[in-house]
Amino acid sequence: MQDELQAGARPDAALASAASITAEYASTLRRAAEQCRQGADVAVVLRGDDALRDIARAWDVALSVGAPLADVIARVAADLEAREELARQLRTTLTGPRASAAMVAALPLVGLVLGSAMGARPVSVLMDTHAGHLLLVLGVSFDAVGVLWTQRMVRRAAAA
């Protein structure tokens, strides 16, 4: 859409062109193009789709201050690209803590398997003795708290 506007296409033609490119937003962009041809408020239609709200705001700004729509759309596109890059970096950064949470959850099971492989019978100790019951409850509790704590930190980091 930005390229068409910079090349001098009418806004309704640019919206129709964008509708032909993206299937996901095609119906909304076609309705917006029709609204534009009729002289109605295009931003109202664009606001109906969460992903197109920034374009609706750009449209409003261009109309209210008289800025060329292509320039405003270019800035919105750059902002959206920057947001996507930041989200991608955040997902990459949080991969390590998520792996740590999985490791915290799995280590007790690995310990039981290794103990059994060495002939130590850890499952019997945990199930058949009073001290084992206490250790089992404490171990499961600490493991659950560790996993929940790590998940909470990851969620907070993702939200920030």
Q: What is the pLDDT along the chain (160 residues), one digit of tens a residue?
A: 556 555 555 677 777 777 676 677 778 878 888 888 887 887 888 888 777 787 788 878 877 887 777 676 667 667 767 777 888 898 899 999 889 889 888 999 999 999 999 999 999 999 999 999 999 999 999 999 988 998 899 889 888 7
Q: pTM to 2 decimals?
A: 0.54
Give dist(CA 113, CA 48) in Å, integer.
Answer: 55
Burial class (CB in 10 A: 0-12, 13-18, 19+), 16: buried
Contact 132, 125 (CB under 8 A): yes
For residue 61, what are the contacts with CB-CB under 8 A and spacing of at least 6?
Answer: 67, 72
Contact 1, 73 (CB under 8 A): yes
Q: Is the dihedral of CA 79, 85, 87, 90 positive or negative?
A: negative
